[in-house]
Amino acid sequence: MDRVIIFDTTLRDGEQAAGGTLNIQEKLEIARQLERLGVDVIEAGFPISSPGDFTAVEAIAKEVRTPVICGLARAHPDDIDRAWEAVKGAEHPRIHVFLSSSDIHLVYQLKKSRQEILEMARSMVARARKYLDDVEFSPMDASRTEPEYIYQILEATIAAGATTVNIPDTVGYATPEEFGGLIEGIFKNVPNIGQAVVSVHCHNDLGLAVANSLEALRRGARQVECTINGIGERAGNASLEEIVMAIKTRQNFYDLTTGVDSTQIYKTSRLVSELTGFAVQPNKAIVGANAFRHESGIHQDGVIKMPITFEIMEPKTVGIPASKLVLGKLSGRHAFRERLAELGYTLSEENFSRAFAAFKDLADKKKDVTDKDIESLVAEEKRTVAETYHLDRLQVTCGSGIPTASVVLTDRDGNSQADTALGTGPVDAVYKAINKIVQVPNALTEFTVKSVTEGIDAIGEVLVRIENEGITYTGRGADTDIIIASAKAYMNALNRLLAAKKTG
């Protein structure tokens, strides 16, 4: 079987999704998990776009050693040079050069002729090749470009040193049959195509990104560019987990394989969802909450008798436990530790003790503690490890009178500070009281509440985004009391802000 190169662009194209900005530490955490997942290439960012993105790409290049670390660059000398500076510390560096090729972009955006574009592409690939041997070139908006011009630009860039040529469906316009035809035409009409890997990068504007990518692989492409949970510009990108599991599940059809450890998929999906703040829709293929749940009596009967009747994949192949262990207030430390292990979490003894105490507290409030509850507790524990201030106590009074909140915060030295504030509502009062103590100017730009599980005793998860000096900080908190969850989320965001100020 041929091996497909999995090129993950979660940290570049995925981060371009509106509201999906990640800080350097969050990018590093995702990059480490992508390495455990087994992706072949990590497109770590667009180095010239900002000093922060350059620093993130540089840090990932120095720390994450197994995959190829790729930096994106426009067909411009400054971009190429900056990308090289960012990735040169990598064990396996790559520069990815892109330039529009469609007449739509040339006429309305770049205002250049085809010949000028051809020369820019050739010269900038040659410039990148002087730095390193691994150079990728993408003719942007290829699916709306005249095929004969695509053939010319690919032949020229391969001759100039491109070792991978990527065919982007930049605006998600193509259908599988025509996109597959474009790939097939490239193999037939580009004389030196055998000197480069053919890659594809499909967007999901018509919901066809995965279908287009798989058809391209069937027609001979051997690298596919994708993101975790399919995040990205507009409607997103081809979803890594869907492509990998389609190849794995339908190996008899595609006769292809990947180097991805599929048991890490679910954990990676959860991490990206938590750090970006983008919830995964329940009916999302592979990683959605309902992907391996059955409610219909007919389905339940079939799955009980033989899972393959209604499940084409075993849940454990993507990192979801096949069986459900119901935990409650009578469960002991051993059972809780076993369940954490099944869910893929290994905690230090100190962190485990805190998580277990939080679990017992939750179990007193809920009849059954679900896997999602446990994952939320672990995420909450991770969020509270490096706190400048800790929420110690909270008391709220609201109703027909004026909402009032009293809070007590404890700093790292164990000193406690208390204050009280009035607000337009209980959450507003809590945030004003916290601000009186922390005294860091900020503007609340987003406040989102969701339920982790069903039922009146469900854990509520709150996401907040605050802005300080033009930089956005994200905070998350979870609790069965939504006011406490709101306070935790705000404290989490403030602690991120304070940590950034100390290191800045």
What amino acid occupies position 112?
A: K
Can you give the pLDDT at residue 349? 87
3-state secondary structure of 6: strand
3-state secondary structure of 317: helix
Top pLDDT among 362 and 295 is at 362
Architecture of domain 2-276: Alpha-Beta Barrel (3.20)
Query: How far apart (Å, rounded) are the C-alpha atoms in residues 154 and 160?
Result: 10
Top pLDDT among 388 and 89 is at 89
pLDDT tens for 396-408 read: 998 878 899 999 9
Closest C-alpha to 18, from 166, 213, 234, 335: 234
From 169-183, 272-286, 290-304, 396-410, the region with the lowest mean pLDDT: 290-304
Mean pLDDT of 49-60: 96
**Is the pLDDT assigned to residue 324 strictly greater than 60?**
no
Share of the chain above pLDDT 70, in %: 91
Please tell me the number of Cα atoms within 13 Å of 443 on its side-chain side: 7
Q: Is 302 exposed, middle or buried (0-12, 13-18, 19+ CB in 10 A)?
A: middle
From 69-78, 255-264, 304-313, the region with the lowest mean pLDDT: 304-313
Query: How far apart (Å, rounded) are the C-alpha atoms in residues 330 and 364?
Result: 9
**Is the pLDDT assigned to residue 442 strictly greater than 70?**
yes
Query: How far apart (Å, rounded) are the C-alpha atoms in residues 298 and 302?
Result: 6
Place of tokens 């929420």: 391
Q: State residue 286 phi and psi, 5-degree precision.
A: 75, -50
Mean pLDDT of 161-189: 98
Whether the Cβ atoms of residue 477 and residue 274 lie closer than 8 Å to each other: no
Mean pLDDT of 243-253: 97
Mean pLDDT of 418-434: 95
Can you give the pLDDT at residue 373? 76
Can you give the pLDDT at residue 323? 37
Mean pLDDT of 441-445: 93
pLDDT tens for 176-206 read: 999 999 999 999 999 999 999 999 999 999 9
Whether the Cβ atoms of residue 292 and residue 320 lie closer than 8 Å to each other: yes
502: part of which helix (H) or strand (E)? helix 482-503
Q: Write down the pTM of the prediction.
A: 0.73
- Ranked by mean pLDDT, the top range of 17-21, 276-280, 319-323, 337-341 is 276-280
Q: CATH class for domain 386-503?
A: alpha beta
Task: Quickly state the pLDDT bin for 281 (edges 50, 70, 90).
Answer: very high
From 198-202, 257-261, 449-453, 463-467, the region with the lowest mean pLDDT: 449-453
Query: How far apart (Å, rounded) are the C-alpha atoms in residues 339 and 328?
Result: 12
Mutual angle of helices 371-383 and 333-342, in 10-degree steps = 90
Kindly report the three-state secondary structure assignment for every residue of 366-424: CCCECHHHHHHHHHHHHHCCCCCEEEEEEEEECCCCCCEEEEEEEECCCCEEEEEEECC
Top pLDDT among 480 and 301 is at 480
Mean pLDDT of 307-314: 85
Mean pLDDT of 477-484: 89
**Is the pLDDT assigned to residue 377 strictly greater than 70?**
yes
Max CA pair span of the chain: 79
Say how many Å lie between the first and final Cα of the chain, rounded.
49
Query: How far apart (Å, rounded) are the C-alpha atoms in residues 138 and 396?
Result: 56
Can you give the pLDDT at residue 325? 39
pLDDT tens for 107-128 read: 999 999 999 999 999 999 999 9
Task: Quickly state the pLDDT bin for 386 (edges 50, 70, 90).
Answer: low
Can you give the pLDDT at residue 262? 97
Query: How far apart (Å, rounded) are the C-alpha atoms in residues 91 and 61?
Result: 7
Task: Quickly state the pLDDT bin for 385 (edges 50, 70, 90).
Answer: very low
**Looking at the chain, how many residues does it have?**
504
From 1-5, 130-134, 307-311, 319-323, the region with the lowest mean pLDDT: 319-323
DSSP letter (8 states) at residue 106: I
**Is the pLDDT assigned to residue 75 strictly greater than 90?**
yes
From 122-131, 312-321, 355-364, 389-398, the region with the lowest mean pLDDT: 355-364
Task: Quickly state the pLDDT bin for 326 (edges 50, 70, 90).
Answer: very low
